[in-house]
Amino acid sequence: MKISKVSLPGKLLTVGVCAMICISLQGCASKPTAESEEVSIQDEKLPNIVLILSDDHAWNDYSFMGHDIVQTPNLDKLASDGITFRHAYVPTSLCRPSLATIATGLYAYQHGITGNNPSKMVPGGKEGQEYHRLRERIIAKIDKVKTLPQLLKDKGYVSLQTGKWWEGSYSRAGFDEGMTRGFPQLGGRHGDDGLKIGRQGIAPITDFIDRMDEQNNPFFVWYAPFMPHAPHTPPTRILEKYASLDLPESIAKYYAMIEWFDETTGQLFEHIEGRGLSVNTLVVYVSDNGWITNPTQEGRFLPKSKQSPNESGVRTPIIYSLPSKFKSGFREDLVSSIDIVPTILGATGIEVPPELPGINLYDNLVNGEPLNRDTVFGEGYAHDMDIIDDPESTLLYRWVIKGDWKLIVSYDGKNASYQKYHDQFLVGPRLYNLAEDEHEKINLAAKYPQKVNLLKDQLEQWYKLEERKMIK
Could you report the per-residue pLDDT of 212-253, keeping only the tens digit for each? 999 999 999 999 999 999 999 999 999 999 999 999 999 999
Q: Is the pLDDT of residue 100 over 50?
A: yes
Cα distance between residue 212 and residue 206, in whole Å: 10
Mean pLDDT of 439-452: 98
What pLDDT score was predicted for residue 44? 78
Mean pLDDT of 411-434: 94
pLDDT band at 184 (very low <50, low <70, confident <90, very high): low
Q: In 105-145, where does DSSP find H-type helix? A: 108-111, 129-139
Q: Is the pLDDT of residue 13 over 60?
A: no
Q: What mean pLDDT value characterizes the chain?
A: 90
Determine contact, residues 400/379, Cβ cutoff 8 Å.
no
Q: Is the pLDDT of residue 117 over 50?
A: yes
Cα distance between residue 212 and residue 220, in whole Å: 10
What pLDDT score was predicted for residue 191? 85
Task: Determine which helix (DSSP H) or strand (DSSP E) holds 219, and give its type and residue range.
Answer: strand 219-224
Query: Which of residues 408 and 191 earns the better pLDDT score?
Result: 408
Q: Would you give the DSSP letter of residue 349?
A: T
pLDDT band at 183 (very low <50, low <70, confident <90, very high): low
Cα distance between residue 359 and residue 341, in whole Å: 9
Q: Which domains does the chain have, with CATH numbers?
A: 34-106+145-371 (3.40.720.10), 373-472 (3.30.1120.10)
How long is the chain? 472
Task: Give the model confidence (pLDDT) of 15-45 as tens digits.
Answer: 333 333 332 323 333 334 444 444 444 457 9
What pLDDT score was predicted for residue 26? 33
What pLDDT score was predicted for residue 32? 41
Mean pLDDT of 410-426: 92
Task: Determine which helix (DSSP H) or strand (DSSP E) holds 224, and give its type and residue range.
Answer: strand 219-224
Could you tell me which residues come within 8 angstroms of residue 252 by beta carbon, excluding any fewer than 6 positions away? Answer: 239, 242, 243, 245
- Judged on CB neighbours under 10 Å (0-12, 13-18, 19+), 308 is buried
What pLDDT score was predicted for residue 424? 86
Mean pLDDT of 109-115: 98
One-letter amino acid for residue 114 of the chain: T
Task: Give the model confidence (pLDDT) of 292-343 as tens digits.
Answer: 999 999 889 999 999 999 999 999 999 999 999 999 999 999 999 999 999 9
Q: Is the pLDDT of residue 190 over 90?
A: no
Going by their DSSP bridges, the two strands 281-287 and 177-178 should be labelled as unpaired
Cα distance between residue 238 and residue 241, in whole Å: 6
Determine contact, residues 62/302, Cβ cutoff 8 Å.
no
Cα distance between residue 305 and residue 62, in whole Å: 16
User: What are φ and ψ of residue 130, in 5° steps?
Assistant: -65, -40
Q: Is the pLDDT of residue 346 over 90?
A: yes
What pLDDT score was predicted for residue 43? 55
**Residue 448 three-state SS:** coil
Task: Give the model confidence (pLDDT) of 351-406 as tens digits.
Answer: 999 999 999 999 999 999 999 999 999 999 999 999 999 999 999 999 999 999 99
Determine contact, residues 245/252, Cβ cutoff 8 Å.
yes
